[in-house]
Structure 1
Amino acid sequence: MVESNNPTEGESIVFAGHDQHKDAQVDVDALSGGSRVDDQLLDFVRQQEAGAHDLGHTFWTSLSQEIGGIRQLLEDTAEVETPPELSPDPSDLHHQSSFLFHGNDFDLEHPSDLHCSHLIRFYFSNVHPLCMILHKPTARLYLESSRSSPSQATTESARRGLDALRHAVYFAAVTSMSRAGCMQYLGAAKDSLVMRYMRSCEAALSRADFLNSVEIATLQALVIYVTAIRSHRSNRSGWSLIGLVVRLAHSLNLHRDGDGRAFSPFDAEMRRRLWWHIIVLDIRAAEDRATEPMIYDGSFNTSMPHNLNDSDFDPSSGSLPKAKIGTTDMTFSLICMDVSNTFLVVNYVPPRKQRILSIPQQEDIIKGCTGRIDSIYLAGSVASDPKTWVVSTIGQLLILRLWLVVQYPLQSVRLNKQYFPSGLGLRTATLYLALRESLETSEYSTGHRWFFQTYVPWHALAVALVALCKQTKGPLVEQAWSVIDQGFEKWGGRMADSQGGMLWRPIKSLMRKARAARETHLESLNRPPQLSVSPAPLTDGVDIGLPRLSLEPHGSNTLDPFLIGNFESIHPTIFPCAEVDALNTPGNDPLFTEFADNSTNWDENWNEFLLDAGTFSVDPPFEI
């Protein structure tokens, strides 16, 4: 949430960039001192954004050079008579946005003061750590204020944006609560509460005219809504709204902030948080349907947020403190942002006639991301902290996801040689699926389970099934089948467009082929076909480069320690080698001795799945 710098009495200190939307006024007399011209230009740039977001501050900088310098630009601007602003009728503000959300059809749902306090508490406990786009101290100050108190907004547009933000918080809070929690604290069934607050949030967004609003608070409300709606809808509505969010962010120039020097330290940091969370949402939406993200590498220059707690800065901060080493309020979000940025790099397919990154280059990039997670975001963490375990487990899952993208790209590919040893893909996919289930069932992730359940591991599942069509024996195979049999139907119910969607049909086809291969193998051993067998621990063969993450700090563990590693290990993580060397040669690793068949054309099998899934490119397969 972004705030203005110098609020006068009675004005809000809750939003970021709120002062940007006032009428642009430049005091040229105050700029007569040449030493202050550069600083004043930055203020001028910020004020101009209210009417020219699409141009950005780089336009004003270049224009000033063309007409004879900064001072000339400011003087000429002051001489131009500013036409009076035409204020639309407040009753018509939402008309242009009502075709998406029907603001006239539903009254805003205002909870009682007691219920409001519960919703705010659950939001900052269950949602805020995963969606760090608000500044908790100032956001709470506004949210906990009485609705009957004088408005803190200076314009009707700002007030409606604030109102949309309030209702987005309510909706996300209900989304994050358990069914028992909804009944205990709010006195109603979760399904009815979700529907009530979802419609109220949509009505508030419509009344804020979110399609045309230049209020940061309105975009924050829409982003929170989209983050929450993923838990309730598997159709394309959430996926489509991400594209709208990206466009609206572009209209506010969130992607062109650079190092943020055009804004106050507080405003710049909150704009960074909002933009980078949008990147994470865009990539997740693309993964849901195996499509390309709208945001691509090189299309933005906004720096990543700092590793700071909300309490480390406020709207009055003249500068931000130095970014911290170790866990902070931003740790989870920064891990997601860093991995998302890495994904944009390693998964980017350039225009034809340009070569993609080689596998060694992709490996180096992933290793760098893993190193940052270890040495910056999780430095000094202890295994006994449940919150740290949840964050670190998510980090490991995201790194495994990157390795899967390298080993089994989402585009058609023709390998020049067998690069990875047979079995490594199955090991990576099995580890991902097992760790994913461990996270969802852990008591430590209860408050965040609503968020984790939106991660459907279809890519890892498809990789595992492609491998299991050929690999029918060995401890790794048994481990893979155990995890798949436990989660297959559940994952299908959560897939994009449900089990009738584009991706699930070819996955079901792979499942039939893999089961047939398994049954044939079991029959050859005179064993009756079975759903799964007890998981066998994996030996410590090829190590997949991961952060030094821990098992659950308490209780018994169902996963082999070699799968996950140990936070307290004094040895650094070993990454997969760029070449298939002695360590990674299937014949030298007992994990792979059962299926060391280098003649298997793995990329052809994977390309067949991509063709069935509709993600196969019409261009010729690229070579590595």
Structure 2
Amino acid sequence: MSNVNDSDLKIDTEDSFPAREEQPTDTTLSLLISHAQCALRSLDLSRFAEPGITNVYMRQCLVDDFRRCAGDLLARCDSDKVPFHWFIQGISKRMDGVLQLAVLRPLQRNSEFVPALLPGSQILAFAADLLDRRRKMYSDPRARPWRWLEPLFFPWHALAVAMAEVCVRQESSVVEKYWPTIEGAYSSFQELVVDVACPHDLYWKPIENMMRKATTARDNLRNKEVLRCEALQGHIFGDTMVTTFLDHTCQSQQDSLVAEAIQTVDGHTSTTSGIPLTESQNTSEASQRFTHEVAAWTQYEHFMSDPYDMGI
């Protein structure tokens, strides 16, 4: 494929194929989508066509290759003056983000893949940022001529990953920071499924189930914060007893979510975890983080099991 304008392509032409343009053309967006789809197929772990790449380093190389191709195609973009150039740059960044997330959290289940465990809430932040940047791009007046593309490539994957992370986060401030973005994306997805006949409706029930779990986890964290604030104001009994009671209550709720996440469909502990469901007081912060990162991954794995169980 060559980066050329539509006017260069004629059915009855006898001339040689036109030389590749050095600036964005009518076919640049199609070329970007083609490169992204090729990379995403290689990141596919479903084994429907051929075995996917499970090595994280090799998976990352696919994203780096896409970035180089996109950089060449968009090298002479004038996004400040040409709305189409601005739009395809934005699309390229969204594709980049989708591929990067797929490197760390594949779209399909695979027992041979070991997920990367990143510190803190990096996965949640990255997934939520993908959702928010997409919203901002299509809300911009410059995107008006191309808004018909919006429902075709909804990032349900980023939404599912973000909700899975919320299910096991223990920091209420972190969850509240990203919750409006997640909730807004969920509402947009819901409207899309209702209003448009598209393949995304296959994932509506799994998304709905995951949102229910994420909402429950968020409510538990918020309730803990409310009780703690009331305790500090002296509305309940002594601080020491309140702190102990609240910590125990929250930990019990959190352990319940973690336990549910780590258990597989057949009732056995997930082979990807290898960790106990209840941690002792001597457990290090690193081990605690590991536990919840694995639980977040398993929540997402269970989300992906729903379409499989439905025969999709």
Q: Normalising to structure 1: TM-score of the pair?
A: 0.36
Q: Where in structure 2 are the equivalents of 1:575-614 lying within 5 Å? A: 597-600=289-292, 601=294, 602-614=296-308
Aligned to 1:442: 140
Aligned to 2:264: none
Q: How far did 1:416 drift? A: 6.6
Measure, in 2, the Cα distance between the counterparts of 1:341 and 1:349.
15
Aligned to 2:102: 405
Measure, in 1, the Cα distance between the counterparts of 2:197 and 2:203.
9
Query: SS at 2:291's partner residue?
Result: coil
Q: How far did 1:473 drift? A: 2.6
Pick closer, same or farther for the CA change 1:325–1:504 going to 2, 3 Å.
Answer: same
Counting aligned pairs with the same residue, the percent is: 22
Q: Where in structure 2 are the equivalents of 1:173-572 lying within 5 Å? A: 305-314=1-10, 315-347=12-44, 349-350=46-47, 356-374=53-71, 376-385=72-81, 386-414=83-111, 419-422=116-119, 423-473=121-171, 477-495=175-193, 501-526=201-226
Contact between 1:411 and 1:616, CA under 8 Å: does it hold in 2?
Answer: no
Letter in 2 for 1:597: R
Bigger RCO (CA 8 Å, 6+ sep) = 2
Q: String of CA shifts for 1:135-161, please: whole Å, max 9, x gaps.
A: xxxxxxxxxxxxxxxxxxxxxxxxxxx
Q: How far did 1:607 drift? A: 1.7
Q: How far did 1:343 drift? A: 1.4
Q: How far did 1:378 drift? A: 0.6
Q: String of CA shifts for 1:512-531, please: whole Å, max 9, x gaps.
A: 21111112112222189xxx
Contact between 2:54 and 2:112, CA under 8 Å: does it hold in 1?
Answer: no
Q: How far did 1:380 drift? A: 2.1
Pick closer, same or farther for the CA change 1:501–1:329 going to 2, 3 Å.
Answer: closer
Pick closer, same or farther for the CA change 1:424–1:450 going to 2, 3 Å.
Answer: same
Q: String of CA shifts for 1:272-302, please: whole Å, max 9, x gaps.
A: xxxxxxxxxxxxxxxxxxxxxxxxxxxxxxx
Q: String of CA shifts for 1:516-565, please: whole Å, max 9, x gaps.
A: 1112112222189xxxxxxxxxxxxxxxxxxxxxxxxxxxxxxxxxxxxx
Provide the aligned length of Structure 1 versus Structure 2: 249
Query: SS at 2:80's partner residue?
Result: coil
Aligned to 2:235: none
Which has more radius of gyration?
Answer: 1
Pick closer, same or farther for the CA change 1:501–1:513 going to 2, 3 Å.
Answer: same
Q: Where in structure 2 are the equivalents of 1:138-149 lying within 5 Å? A: none
Q: How far did 1:419 drift? A: 2.0
Q: Normalising to structure 2: TM-score of the pair?
A: 0.69
Decide which structure has greater helix share. 2
After the TM superposition, which of the residue ranges 325-334 and 470-479 deviates more from structure 2? 470-479
Q: String of CA shifts for 1:4-61, please: whole Å, max 9, x gaps.
A: xxxxxxxxxxxxxxxxxxxxxxxxxxxxxxxxxxxxxxxxxxxxxxxxxxxxxxxxxx
